[in-house]
Amino acid sequence: MIIDLSGTTAIVTGSTGGIGFAIAKGLAEAGSTVVVCGREQGRVDATLAALSTTRAGVQARGVVADLASAAGCRTLIGAELQADILVNNLGIYGLKDFFEVSDEDWEEILQTNVMSSIRLSRHYAQGMRNRGWGRIQFISSESAANIPVDMVHYGLSKAALQGLSRGLAKVLAGSGVTVNSILPGPTRTESVTAFIAQMAAKRGITPTEMETLFLREGRPSSLIRRFASPEEVANLCVYAASRQASATTGAALRVEGGIIESIV
């Protein structure tokens, strides 16, 4: 199967690093003109420079916006009025005891992880529907299904994306626009590497030992028994964005290494 996305424009939120960058790179290599987003001009420029070295002819543009706010979403929409592919990848996370999560913390995670996705999907989905083709993805998490006790706020934000994804797929039924959620498991991004290093320092062990312990203690049902790479997650996103994935919609697509204990 050859995935050819030439002629399409793809917006990937949170794409100056981590999983978002890997998705942007994968889509650009498949021929899409990619729009990368981040909060700082320097990081956006560095991302565009990195993308330009991946393959000759890669097309990419950048937008600087803080998508955790309505104004930031308006900035992106103002700069890029339409898209054929929207990957709502932006998401923040962190360990916090439920009783320590303040109203401000709840507001921040819901605005960043959920409202950004709602605002952008509400805008871009209409153009996709009018043109009769489009792909919308929500980068959720296995934490949507297995709410972690030390990240209830994060798990809830990802569970909300599951509802949003399924609901929007129904709104767009028969339109040629597919809507899916993607559920990664622990994935070795820069942020996660830093997070694991902090946990390791607290316990006085190495980051590699901490990764193994993290899986054993927190994700014992992992079947791959390791963290995934951002590229492994991106591969599924590129397929779900492809023309070939036209019968996959309203689905929760897993790339979590088998953590979720369910046969469907």
The one-character DSSP state at 116 is: H
Quick check: 137 binds ligand NAP (CB under 6 A)? no
**From the list 10, 24, 34, 38, which residue makes contact with ligand NAP (rule: CB under 6 A)?**
38
Reduced to 3 states, what is the DSSP secondary structure of residue 70? helix
Applying CB under 6 A, does 86 fall inside the site for ligand NAP?
Answer: no
Distance CA 142, CA 68 (A): 22
Q: Considering only residues 39 through 78, tell me which ones interact with ligand NAP, judged by CB under 6 A.
A: 39-40, 43, 66-68
Figure out which of the listed residues 17, 148, 176, 218 binds ligand NAP, where binding follows CB under 6 A. Answer: 17
**3-state DSSP helix/strand/coil percent for the chain, to nearest 5?**
50, 15, 35
Number of residues engaging ligand NAP in binding (CB under 6 A) = 30
Amino acid at residue number 254: R
Work out whether the CA dihedral 60, 48, 242, 169 comes out positive or negative.
negative
**Residue 189 in the binding site for ligand NAP (CB under 6 A):** yes
Q: At closest approach, how far in Å is the CB of 39 from ligand NAP?
A: 3
Contact 92/248 with Cβ under 8 angstroms? no
Name the one range near ligand NAP by CB under 6 A: 31-39, 52-60, 96-104, 208-216.
31-39
Interface region with ligand NAP, contact rule CB under 6 A, candidates 25-33, 127-135, 186-194, 212-220: 186-194
Six token digits for residue 83: 């898209």
Nearest-angstrom CA–CA distance, 230 and 109: 22
Number of residues that this document lists for the chain: 264
The one among 5, 90, 125, 241 contacting ligand NAP by CB under 6 A: 90
**Full DSSP string of 206-262:** -HHHHHHHHHHHH-TT-SS-SPBPHHHHHHHHHHHHSGGGTT--S-EEEESTT-S--
Q: Which of 53, 75, 3, 54 is nearest to 32 (CA)?
A: 3
Q: Which residues within the stretch 92-131 sit at the binding site for ligand NAP (CB under 6 A)?
A: 92-93, 112
Residues 217-236 contacting ligand NAP, CB under 6 A: none
Minimum CB separation from ligand NAP for residue 45, in Å?
A: 11
Token pair 């706020």 in the structure block, residue: 153
Residue 10 backbone phi and psi in degrees, to 5 = -125, 130
* Cβ nearer to ligand NAP, comparing 62 with 175: 62
Residues 141-170 that bind ligand NAP (CB under 6 A): 141
Stretch that binds ligand NAP, among 35-43, 119-127, 205-213, 240-248 (CB under 6 A): 35-43
Spatial separation of the C-alpha atoms in residues 150 and 170, rounded to whole Å: 33
**Which listed range, 102-110, 169-177, 188-196, 215-223, lies at the site for ligand NAP (CB under 6 A)?**
188-196
Catalytic residue among 93, 124, 154, 239: 154
* Catalytic residue flag (residue 93): no
Binding region for ligand NAP (CB under 6 A): 14-20, 37-40, 43, 66-68, 89-93, 112, 139, 141, 184, 186-187, 189-192
Q: Which residues are catalytic?
A: 154
